[in-house]
Chain A
Amino acid sequence: MSFTAAAFLLGTFAVAGPILAHLLARPRFRRVPFTMLHFLYAGQAEMESRRRLRDLLLLLLRCAIIVLLVLFFAGPSINTGKKQTIAKASYFLAVDNSLSMNYREGSRSLYQNAIDATAEFIQKSDEDAQFNLYPLAGAEPITELDRNAALVALRQIRTAPLQGDLRSYLSDLREAGISNPDAKIHTHIASDFTPPILQQITNLSEPIVVDSFQYEFSHPQEEISNCTIYDGDAKVGSDDTIQLQATLINDGPEPVRRTVVIRNLAQELHRFEVDLDAGEHRRIERGISFDTRPTSSYAIEIAYLEGDGLAEDDTYCMGLSIPKIESKRILVAGVNSRETFLPETAFQTLARNYPGEAIGVETITANVFNARNLQEIDLLVLTSIQQSIAQLLEPLTAFVKTGGRIVFFVSPMQSPACVQTFWEAGLLPALPQRLRSETTHTTQSPETSIENLPRALDVSALQALQNYKIGQAVLTGYYECEAKPDSLALWRLEDGPGFLYYSSLGLGSVLLVNTSADDSLGTLLKSPVSVAFCRTILGRQEPLQTHIFTSGEPIVLPKAENMKTISGSESGIQILSPNGNVLTAALTDFGIVLPPLQEIGWIKTAAEPALYAGINPPREELNLQQPEAQTLDASLHAIFQKRTEPESALQAKITTGTKPIWKQIGWVLIALILTETVVANRLKR
Chain B
Amino acid sequence: MAGRKSYLDPDLLSRLGNIDLVARCAVEGFYAGLHPSPFHGFSVEYSDHRAYEPGDELRFLDWKIFGRSDKLYIKQFQQETNVPVYILLDSSMSMAFSGEGKLSKLDYGSYLAAALSYLMLGQGDAVGLTTFSETIRTRVPSKSRRTHLYTILTALQQNQASGKTRLADILHTLAETTHRRGLVVLISDLIDDAEDLHTGLTHLKFLNHDVILFQTLDHQELHLDYEGLIEFIDLESSTRIRTFTNSLRESYCEKVANFVETVEKKSREVGIDYCLLDTSQPLDKAFLAYLAKRKRLG
A and B form one complex: yes
User: Which residues of chain A have a CB within 8 Å of any CB of chain B?
Assistant: 27-37, 39-44, 47-48, 50-51, 684-685
CB < 8 Å: which of A34, A44, A684 contacts B233? A34
Contacts of B255 in A (CB 8 A): 39, 42
The residue that A35 contacts in the complex, of B189, B241, B246, B252, with Cβ under 8 A, is B189
The answer on a CB contact under 8 Å between B234 and A35 is: yes
Docked CA distance A55–B241 (Å): 19
| Bound Cα distance from A254 to B239, whole angstroms | 118
Residues from chain B with a CB closer than 8 A to the CB of A40 are 232, 241, 243, 248, 252
C-alpha gap A36/B244 in the complex (Å): 16
Q: Which of B232, B251, B256 contacts A37 (CB 8 A)?
A: B232
Within 8 A of A (CB), among B208-238: 218, 220-221, 226, 228-237
Residue pair A685, B229 in contact (C-beta under 8 Å): no
Q: Say if the beta carbon of B39 comes within 8 Å of chain A.
A: no
Q: Chain B residues near A44 (CB, 8 Å)?
A: 241-243, 248
Q: Digit string of B160-178 for contact with A (CB within 8 Å is 1, else 0)?
A: 0000000000000000000
**Interfacial chain A residues near B248, Cβ < 8 Å:** 40, 43-44, 47
Interchain CB contact under 8 A, A31 and B247 = no
A30 touches which of B97, B220, B229, B256 (Cβ 8 Å): B229
Minimal beta-carbon separation of A76 from chain B (angstroms): 40
Please tell me if the beta carbons of B231 and A685 are within 8 angstroms of each other in the complex: no
Which of B226, B237, B247, B252 meets A32, CB within 8 Å? Answer: B226
B123 contacts chain A at the CB level, 8 A cutoff: no
Q: In the complex, which residue of chain B has the Cβ closest to the Cβ of A27?
A: B229
Enumerate chain A residues within 8 angstroms of B244, measured Cβ to Cβ: 47, 51, 685
Sample of 11 A–B contacts (CB below 8 Å): A30-B228, A30-B230, A32-B232, A33-B97, A35-B191, A35-B218, A42-B251, A43-B248, A44-B243, A50-B247, A685-B244
Q: How far is the CA of A282 from the CA of B259 in the complex (A)?
A: 113
User: A35-B234, A44-B241 known; 7 other A-B pairs, CB under 8 Å?
Assistant: A33-B233, A34-B221, A34-B234, A35-B94, A47-B244, A48-B243, A50-B247
Is A28's CB under 8 angstroms from B251's CB? no
Chain B residues whose CB sits within 8 angstroms of the CB of A684 once the complex forms: 246
Chain B interface, DSSP helix/strand/loop, else mixed: mixed
- CB-defined interface of B252-294 with A at 8 Å, one 1/0 digit per residue? 1001100100000000000000000000000000000000000
Q: Tell me whether A47 and B243 are in contact in the complex, defined as CB-CB below 8 angstroms, given that A35-B97, A35-B189, A36-B256 are known contacts.
A: yes
Q: How far is the CA of A6 from the CA of B209 in the complex (A)?
A: 88
Q: B247 touching A47 by the CB < 8 A rule?
A: yes
Chain A residue contacts of B191, Cβ below 8 A: 35-36
Give B contacts to A, CB under 8 Å: 94, 97, 189, 191, 218, 220-221, 226, 228-237, 239, 241-244, 246-248, 251-252, 255-256, 259
Q: Which residues of A contact B251 (CB under 8 A)?
A: 42-43
Q: Which residue of A lies closest to B256 (CB)?
A: A39
Q: Which residues of A contact B242 (CB under 8 A)?
A: 29, 44
Q: Which 4 A-B pairs have the closest CB atoms?
A: A29-B231, A43-B251, A34-B232, A43-B248
Complex interface: chain A residues within 8 A of B241 (CB): 37, 40-41, 44
**Please, which residue of chain A has its CB at the minimum distance from the CB of B237?**
A37
- Chain B nearest Cβ from A680, distance in angstroms: 14
Q: Shortest beta-carbon distance, B244 to chain A, in Å? A: 6
Chain A: which residue is nearest B93 at the CB level? Answer: A35
Asked if B231 contacts A36 (CB within 8 A), the reply is no
How far is B104's CA from A154's CA once the two chains are assembled, in angstroms?
Answer: 102
A41 to B242, CA, bound (A): 10
**Complex: A34 Cα to B233 Cα, angstroms:** 6
Which residues of chain B are near A28, meaning CB under 8 Å? 229
Contact A39 B239 (CB under 8 A): no
Within 8 Å by CB of A34, from B97, B228, B246, B256, lies B97
Q: How far is the CA of A29 from the CA of B237 in the complex (A)?
A: 20
CA–CA, A148 to B230, complex, Å?
A: 85
| In contact, B230 and A29 (Cβ under 8 angstroms) | yes
Do A35 and B243 have beta carbons less than 8 Å apart? no
- Tell me the complex Cα distance, A36–B223, Å: 11
Contact of B247 among A29, A34, A685 (CB under 8 A): A685
Q: Which chain B residue lies CB-closest to A683? A: B244
Distance between Cα atoms of A27 and B243 in the complex (Å): 10
Q: How far is the CA of A33 from the CA of B237 in the complex (A)?
A: 11
Flag if B231 contacts A32 (CB, 8 Å). yes
Question: Which residues does chain B contribute within 8 Å of A41, judged by CB atoms?
Answer: 241
Instruction: Please name all residues of chain A whose beta carbon is closer than 8 Å to the beta carbon of B221 when the two chains form the complex.
Output: 34-36
Contact, CB under 8 Å: B259 / A39: yes
Interchain CB contact (< 8 A) of B231 among A31, A43, A47, A51:
A31
Q: How far is the CA of A29 from the CA of B228 in the complex (A)?
A: 8
| Cα–Cα, bound, A50→B244 (Å) | 12
- What is the CA–CA distance of A400 and B227 in the complex, to the nearest angstrom? 98
> In the bound complex, how far is the Cα of B248 from the Cα of A40, in angstroms?
7
Of B189, B226, B230, chain A has the most CB atoms within 10 Å of the CB of: B230
Q: Determine the distance from Cα of A243 to Cα of B241 in the docked complex, in whole angstroms.
A: 110
**What B residues does A43 contact at CB under 8 A?**
243, 247-248, 251-252
Which has the most chain B C-beta neighbours within 10 Å: A27, A37, A684? Answer: A37
Contacts of A36 in B (CB 8 A): 191, 221, 252, 256
Smallest Cβ-Cβ distance to B94: which chain A residue: A35
Chain A residues lying within 8 Å of B94, measured Cβ to Cβ, are 35
